[in-house]
Structure 1
Amino acid sequence: MAPRCSWMWRLPRCPLLGRNLSTTRRLGAGRSLSSKSPTPQICVVGSGPAGFYTAQHLLKHHSEAIVDIYEKLPVPFGLVRFGVAPDHPEVKNVINTFTQTARSERCNFLGNVTVGRDVTVEELQRAYHAIVLSYGAEDKKELGIPGEKLPGVYSARDFVGWYNGLPDNRYLSPDLSSETAVILGQGNVALDIARMLLSPLELLEKTDVAQPALEALSQSRVKKVWLVGRRGPLQVAFTIKELREMINLPGTRPIYDPSDFQGLGDILKDLPRPRKRLTELLVKSALEEPGEKEAVRRAQCTREWGLRFFRSPIAVLPSEDGKRASGVRLSVTRLEGSGESAVSVPTGETEDMPCGLIFSSIGYRSVPISPGVPFLPRQGIIPNSMGRVLGAPGLYCSGWVKRGPTGVITTTMTDSFDTAQSLLEDLKSGALNLSNSRPGASAIRELLLLRGVDPVSFSDWEKIDAVETAQGLKVGKPREKILNTEEMLQLVSR
């Protein structure tokens, strides 16, 4: 077992071990020891949008606070890098703002550090005045039906990670030899997957899609994609931008069952504006005859996608030899209630949908980070009030681990600002105890050194970024992602 650090008992006397100003930047610990009022030392766990937006708000609205961001991967930005679809580069522009935050004199990025393994939450609590848990939803929800482990069935999370270059998913190697794919779910992630499966290769070649995924998609035989939802058109979870992209996807046409949309026009006026606009587009696309130009385009398409409503999966069907998936059995449902709160209930009827490729896109879920941190397993969140972790003073949360895996990046921004504001209010009111100085990153670095963990700084990440960008430039892409964490670490150790 690694020896304990002196800072656990005598915080102000903790030395900086192995401090190198080129990588251990702007720790600010010395200032906190000499000032009349100790400098707030704040730690954020997770460097995705929730983590960076929280840090941004804290730094902007408190002129003294030091904010350290911990990330388990050697690279920052979380779902912006590994979740946003490659053909949505405009969404990734928030990285520019996050980079400005990371370069602040009062911010430190410590990558390649897994909280809960390399350092515990309790150890962070002894080094910081406050901790914000923003580690997202890194697990996937299970379907809980027979056959879901058969070859040919993939989680949306793993597939998205694969084409986005997430190191954990680089060996996924999905079998794309089936002409029909079924996606269980009707959210934005489901549409992202459908678009990736059906997009012309020349569109994907100009993105930062991982090279192994690009090569596999170039050999794909998928020609039809069904997106299956247990409820109806008024309850789809995708947004209008993503729907419009699918409707206009080159080489691809939508297919609908007009009966699914009958009567919806009569209730449009009573819908909230975002739902109204989305439903109007669905109804128009499904029921109105396309113009001459659009009709010609659709007639020439070789690929298609469709929405299947009021269906819930009850089993994945095996092939005759039992070695892989050959279809999915669906329970036909009906709705009880109306609007967003409508609940699907089975009618007793079933329907089999043949296919050799199935994606489960029913959501992500957060996991507990420490036995000492409250967690609600059913909801998959940390219990909190405005970001304050219930029953744990000094602990906060933001993002998906706070509210569940819902919303878009702007939702996360607002949510994270709210958490940061709660923390700032607690600093101002005295609810957060600043009577003792805390060493922050200096002490944690000492502890990590004793455990053989070498954190990656933001300037180290910029070395990785430069290599990826240069490699992408050679092939006409914005970047060619490095897929192996060991290769990343070798780059920063040179």
Structure 2
Amino acid sequence: MTQDSELRIAVIGAGPAGVYSSDIFLRQLKKLGDELGVGTEARIDLFEKLPVPFGLVRYGVAPDHPSIKFISSALEKTLDNPDIHLYCDVEFGSDVTLDELLDRYDAVLFATGAVKDKPLKLEGADLDGVYGAAKFVEWYDGYPTGAREWPLEAEEVAVIGGGNVAMDVARELMRNADDLKNRTDIPDNVYEGIKANKAKTLHLFIRRGVAQAKFSVQELREMEKLPGVQLIIDEDDFELDDETIEEAGKDKLTRQMVEELFAIREMAEDMEDDGDVDFEGNPADRQYFIHFNSAPVEILGEDGKVRGIKVERTRTSADGKMTRTGEFVEYPVQAVYHAIGYKPEAAPGIAYDEKGAHLANANGDGRITVSAEDGEIRERLYATGWAKRGPVGLIGSTKSDALLIVTNMLEDLAKAAEGGRVAPDRDPESIDRLLESRGVKPIDFTGWKKIDAYERSEGAKEGREHKKVIDNEKFRELAHAE
């Protein structure tokens, strides 16, 4: 083996983490490869279990986020690179094993995302009418194996969580179906579901204070512009002491978030003063209550169904420590959604760190280890994004992750024999023959472009930019059409 042959890298997961890492690897290799002695040529094969790429951007972010279009087009531009080969509809662990990849690739990078909710550990969490955010997000984002119908019978609803997913869930529950359809790519079943939604009152419960919430400013601004919705706040939640204001001011993003929340407070006061109206001054037919310093302690039931939620008032100090007050309030609700965090997926043959909720890796540097307890590094295996650090950080955080992991990968390849070209099978078509022998038909970038063109044409019929396909067989039919 010589440097005349290209480096071969397998990436598992074609969401933002996998695509960003592929792009950064190729860029850094061109820049540093000769200096490191590994050459500047590489082939990256990107494996995705779903029939389409983009993971979290397509299936984890609410459809009414305007930034999705920009992120998707940037990711697509990266995939349109002759050195990156897309293998959608190929599942790691069943269609192809770790050993088979290590035979054919010099390094394997895991960029798998998260599709499961962290469990809600409250009494009553098993009642009919309690839902994890992940499954609801799958429904409204048209996830291929997600629910096709969603029960939206409750007139009073609670959402638990102090982050962006909680905000997404609450916003979609308060959405006007026609407004959502006009602005997004939602499929017909989601439009019909939201059109039939009976929710008139929503309570968002955040355990800590205004200065400790984890909302992005963009999320807050989207909350401010919900047709037909009146925002309602508790004045007491906004009584911040000097120490808390000073602490919040140290971090730019926190300061901006707090400033936006105070703007929302003013907006909520105006909505009330003007006769319970929405942001445009029109009569509101839905009410959205935002409760800070409110920790749900029990979901109340009757005949196995949700009938209410019991919440304890809390206090939050400037350093973010929360204490309970012993004051309880009960709210009548018929459905509870919890957005308290995701649990990233395990990967067959890779140790999992249950405590950190990510693949076991050395000191967060992305190098996969034998176990969560044993820091011994397994050569040629890496993790990035949520697979590396757990379900924290925005999509943009995956870029800084990717640079760190790519730097470590290149460092390790430079130390390896044969200029990093250690995989014994270097035939680039070997993986195609293996998959074909198993009856696996990958969807490549050309196949994805056919799907995308169809979604655009279906959207255009309704004056929309895009309309999502949600059926796996339809994806395959479109992608493999001659």
Common topology (TM > 0.5): yes
Q: Verify: 1:409 aligned to 2:395, yes or no.
A: yes
- Structure 2 counterpart of 1:330, from 307, 311, 314: 311
How many residues are aligned here? 454
TM-score for the superposition, normalised by structure 2: 0.87
Distance 1:254 1:412 in 2: 33
Q: How does 1:412-491 map to 2 (within 5 A)?
A: 412-430=398-416, 433-435=420-422, 437-439=424-426, 442-491=429-478
Q: Equivalences for 1:52-451 in 2 at 5 Å? A: 52-62=19-29, 63-171=40-148, 173-206=149-182, 207-264=184-241, 267-270=244-247, 271=249, 272-286=251-265, 295=274, 297-298=277-278, 300-319=283-302, 321-322=303-304, 324-335=305-316, 338-339=318-319, 342-371=320-349, 373-382=350-359, 383-384=361-362, 385-390=364-369, 391-430=377-416, 433-435=420-422, 437-439=424-426, 442-451=429-438
Q: Is the 8 A contact 1:312 1:333 kept in 2?
A: yes
How far is 1:54 from its partner? Answer: 0.3
| 2:3–2:421 Cα contact (<8 Å) kept | no
Asked if 2 retains the 8 angstrom alpha-carbon contact of 1:46 and 1:133, the reply is yes
Q: Give the Cα separation in 1 of the matches to 2:427 and 2:51.
A: 20
Distance in 1 of aligned mates of 2:318 and 2:50:
43
Q: Are residues 265 and 197 of structure 1, via their aligned partners in 2, closer, same or farther at CA, if it must alter by over 3 Å?
A: farther
Using a 3 Å threshold, how does the CA distance of structure 1 residues 196 and 273 change in structure 2: closer, same or farther? same
CA distance in 1, matches of 2:126, 2:422: 54
**Residues of 1 paired with 2:448 and 2:268: CA distance?**
52
Give 1:81's aligned amino acid. R
Give the letter for the 1:330 counterpart.
V
**Identity across matched positions, percent:** 33
Q: Match for 1:302: what amino acid? A: D
Q: CA deviation at 1:292?
A: 9.3
- Closer, same or farther in 2 for the Cα pair 1:132/1:256, shift >3 Å? same
SS in 2 for 1:254: strand
Deviation, 1:402, is: 0.8
Task: Tell me the alpha carbon deviations over residues 109-140 of structure 1, each in whole angstroms, 9 at most, x when there is no partner.
Answer: 00111101211222211211001100112221
SS in 1 for 2:25: helix
1:147 CA displacement: 2.8
Question: Per-residue CA shift, 1:241-287, capped at 9, x if unaligned?
Answer: 21122123232221111111113467424422221222123234326
Alpha-carbon displacement from aligned partner over 1:17-50 (angstroms, at most 9, x marks no partner): xxxxxxxxxxxxxxxx7x5543210010000000
Give structure 1 stretches of 5+ with no counterpart: 1-32
Distance in structure 1 (CA, Å) of the matches to 2:296 and 2:439: 47
- Is the CA contact 1:41–1:440 (under 8 Å) kept in the aligned structure 2? no
Are the equivalent residues in 2 in contact too, given 1:261–1:287 (CA < 8 A)?
no
CA contact (8 A) 2:232 2:268 kept: no
Q: Distance in 2 between matches of 1:289 and 1:97?
A: 37
Question: Residues 458, 204 of structure 1: CA spacing in aligned structure 2 closer, same or farther, 3 A cutoff?
Answer: same
Specify whether residues 54 and 448 from structure 1 end up closer, same or farther in structure 2 by C-alpha distance, changes over 3 A only: same
Higher relative contact order (CA 8 A, sep 6+): 1
Q: Determine the structure 1 residue equivalent to 2:373.
A: none
Measured in 2, the distance between the counterparts of 1:379 and 1:36 equals: 38
1:70-105 per-residue CA deviation (whole Å, 9 max, x = no partner) reads 000110010111112211233332222222222211
**Which amino acid counterpart does residue 179 of structure 2 have in structure 1?**
L
1:133 maps to a residue whose letter is F
Q: Is the 8 A contact 1:42 1:440 kept in 2?
A: no
Q: 1:183, CA displacement in angstroms?
A: 0.5
Deviation at 1:369, TM superposition (A): 0.6
SS in 2 for 1:57: helix
Q: Taking structure 1 as reference, are residues 265 and 474 closer, same or farther at Cα in structure 2, changes over 3 Å only?
A: farther
C-alpha contact 1:231 1:309 (8 A) present in aligned 2: yes
For residues 346 and 213 of structure 1, do their structure 2 counterparts lie closer, same or farther at Cα, with a shift above 3 Å needed?
Answer: same
Where does structure 2 lack aligned partners over 5 or more consecutive residues? 30-39, 370-376
